[in-house]
Chain A
Amino acid sequence: MRLHVDWTACDGRGLCAELLPELITEDEWGYPVVRTDEVSPRLEKAAGRAVDRCPALALHLLRR
């Protein structure tokens, strides 16, 4: 699976960086910086939680 940010929807609330610090940090404007979009099986559950809780519905888990 890979993480995908819909930049047209993201408004930089920052929940994803809090819920998935292993893969996502924030830039100086509060927008997510995805360190690597490849999600290992170990992190899939946490990634799914970050996707579900994004208030802008901007974070997606896509099949490769």
Chain B
Amino acid sequence: MITMERRLLAGDDSPFAQPTATQLVALLREAGLTGRGGAGFPAWRKLEAVADAGRPPVVVGNGAEGEPLSGKDRALLTYQPQLVLDGLRIVARALGATATHLYVHPALRALTVGIPMTVAPDAFVAGEESAVVNALAGRAPVPSDKRIRITQAGLGGAPTLVQNVETLAHIALIVRHGPQWFRSAGTPDEPGTFLATVGGAVAAPGVVEAGYGVRLGDLVDAAGGPVQPVQAVLVGGYHGGWVPAWPELPVSRAALGAYGSSPGAGVVLALPSSACGLAETASIAGCLAGQVAGQCGPCVNGLPRIATTLADLAARRARPGLVDEVTRLSALVQGRGACRHPDGTVRLVRSAMRAFAADVTAHLHGECLAGGAR
């Protein structure tokens, strides 16, 4: 494993003082910790919502890691499980939780943690927090409608806090070392470190820890550096966005927003110039279409249509209106599901149409820029 920062990956078994719920909310607010599962929601807000629900909650550490390109939660639970368990216990004690659970990727089924553990199915949406609650309740591990938030009524009707395992590990460190220490990495607006899973055209794919705002080139170099010229980088995973392969580009929400991308759960995939960005995106869209939970009509019908339309574009089966069809279908499915699976898919597709605009034009004329002069 390659490491730039060593916080989470170094572990920490030093003693700490257990905070109350009020203290913990204040600590996390001051630290500016955001959820590391992908959405980047402020950790203190979710914690406060559960504390304010007024009934003893259930706390769940979410290590489902359904994102195919991500391996950081598995790495963390393999190398530093104690940090995750510390975070889980700190949160559970602060909130007066009646139960704690750990929900893990199928590859970690042999993990021994001393608290109830449930193995997630190997499915993209299985880590969505209402899907987590459903899985733990013995129901199909698919997302629920959001009229009732799980922070109000989740597992067994109890207010339920589902936090990504990396988020919990950060909490264990913030409680020990304080918010100022946490903020000494990252940027003022996006403090702290994050775990990145760097892959694609790099010499040593793996999990890297860095502060937000780290140069994209440094992340790629920490994974052994490029093995081929890199034409674009997918940041944020299958629900992320393609960004230019500029070594200077800061990996932060602020800098990547311009490309419709964000660090998300820390996935970084370097696309070599020998590959076709449209073919790569069509392949990912096909995977995402295959990972629909099967509940929501627009997603069930729309994602396969988006995927086949992109596949036609990737395979240079040009026809009039092909690009407009991608645009129209993307707008049609957005926001029309119980979870963000359609929205995340649309984010990826839109970023590809922008990042690979020259490839789109070439493909419409029966040509492909992959490997050639661009």
A residues with CB within 8 A of B: 4-12, 27, 29-31, 33, 60, 62
Among B147, B297, B302, the residue within 8 A (CB) of A12 is B297
Residues of chain A with a CB closer than 8 A to B144's CB: 8
Query: Whose C-beta in chain B lies nearest to the C-beta of A30?
Result: B297
Among A6, A30, A60, the residue within 8 A (CB) of B338 is A6
Residues of chain B with a CB closer than 8 A to A12's CB: 297
The binding surface of chain B is classed by DSSP as loop
> For chain B residues 132-147, which have a beta carbon within 8 Å of chain A?
142-145, 147
Can you report 21 residue pairs joining A to B where beta carbons are below 8 Å apart? A5-B336, A6-B338, A7-B145, A7-B296, A7-B298, A7-B336, A7-B338, A8-B142, A8-B144, A8-B295, A8-B296, A8-B338, A10-B296, A10-B297, A12-B297, A27-B298, A27-B332, A29-B301, A29-B302, A31-B301, A60-B147
B residues with CB within 8 A of A: 142-145, 147, 295-299, 301-302, 332, 336-338
- Starting from the known contacts A8-B338, A31-B336, 11 additional A-B residue pairs (CB-CB under 8 Å) come to A5-B336, A6-B145, A7-B295, A7-B298, A7-B299, A8-B142, A8-B144, A10-B297, A29-B301, A33-B336, A60-B147
The binding surface of chain A is classed by DSSP as loop
The reply to whether A4 and B147 contact each other, CB–CB distance below 8 Å, is yes
A10 to B336 alpha-carbon distance, docked (Å): 11
Within the complex, the shortest CB–CB distance from B210 to chain A, in Å, comes to 37
A28 to B145 alpha-carbon distance, docked (Å): 23
Query: Whose C-beta in chain B lies nearest to the C-beta of A5?
Result: B336
A40 to B31 alpha-carbon distance, docked (Å): 42
A5 to B298 alpha-carbon distance, docked (Å): 12
A10 to B298 alpha-carbon distance, docked (Å): 10
